[in-house]
Structure 1
Amino acid sequence: MPEYLETPQGRRIAFHRVAGTGQGTGPGVVFLGGFKSDMGGTKAVFLDDWARRTGRAFLRFDYSGHGESSGAFEDGAIGDWAEDAAAAIGALTEGPQVLVGSSMGGWMSLLMCKRLVGKVAGLVTIAAAPDFTEDSMWAAFDEGQRKALLEDGQVALPSEYGDPYVITRRLIEEGRTQLVLRDPLVLPFPVRCLQGTADEDVDMSVALRLLDHAQGPDMRLTLVKGADHRFSDDACLALIETTLEEVLSQIGAV
């Protein structure tokens, strides 16, 4: 059963936390999930198991409107979920943290790098989707979809993961206040970006744009031929583990 955190905005955030036992003062790890995903996903649970095995402090949680947290998905927006992430990291972790952001969680983790300066010690992104509400959704809408969004307040998009995604006007418009690829993005710590070449949701060009745009002393992008957006087969999970451990070792060497 999850525990719950009441945020300053009155939202009830479900979370699971692993207490660190074997890493001394080493950084903890926080997993930030994707759009309409939850903390019960393959990657989040895999990292939970890894943390228990290695003794590393670890946090996974559901944004409001996701998983076991309060609220309706359709009522949320990027800024709301960033508030949830900041509240969870601030209240439920101690000391510096390495963020692991998957898909939308990659965008969330970049927002945390801006908001929680000094708290973030390293970053691993998996098929990161920064600014996707503007550059992927709004940019791809046809005239009819844009009209429906503006007049009806929402539009439904098909999803291979289940029920259609209901995209609201607020999600698009509020997302424009959270963009991270238009202004300077300084990441002064180890950053590792993982991206599959067969990802049909986040194109490789997004990873290349992020790598080109962000400024930092230690940034690397790894492309995995044939990997899809889920990035959850055994080989991809093993790569996530070794990449995270590399970032943690780099921090320990500083």
Structure 2
Amino acid sequence: MTLRERHALVTGGGRGIGRAIAAALTQAGARVSILGRDETSLRDAVAAGVAADFAPCDVRDESAVSSALDHLSGGHGFDIAIANAGAVETGPFMRSDSKRFRRMVEINLIGTVNLFHAVLPAMLEQRRGRLIAIASTAGHRGYPYVSAYVAAKHAVVGLVKSLALETARSGVTVNAVCPGYADTDMVASGLDTIAAKTGKSREQALAEMVRDNPQGRLIAPEEVAAAVLYLCGSGSDAVTGQSLMINGGEF
């Protein structure tokens, strides 16, 4: 596969799944720009050749996203946009107040909306583009103690389905990639929290986390990146409005 002469944008591209996606797109020949809140990790990714350039940006801020993309694109728009930035907060529903739900919606859903709003006009004008949201298996089923996150990811999947219908004849495809628990900093932090709160060892916490995955393991970020690469290629022109599960056969 070659993505030469394609300009791709990845939010949350400095680490974890976002960095793996940026690396895969770069290897396929695309020019890759990355956004994120951690400027140090963004600089490190560019220095390592994972991406061509970066801009520090909070995707929850619509005007900041628009300004960052204008700077990175030089006014020429993007061919590929990957909405990867996200966050999770844990806790039982009765201890998850409306502020927690708003935080999860802002970063996971509104961050995706802001990116898609910013890049879609140029894609529609050139009648070509790829919009991809990195959602989660939590966008399709419930998990206990993460109700705010699950609600936000369900909303992301709903956005993908609706926008795909609006753009079906435009040359732009809109899809979601939905990994299960992946080997990322976010999951590592979650394991530490579980161990601290329950007194279980980190190994026991990991075993419980991957229990529903028939393969009994965490998903590698590179496996998510491979799915994104497929959806960016010309062979996926008829694939839109879909959620590609990367979950070891969990469901």
TM-score normalised to structure 1 length: 0.45
- Which structure dedicates a bigger proportion of its chain to strand? 1
TM-score normalised to structure 2 length: 0.46
- Which structure dedicates a bigger proportion of its chain to helix? 2
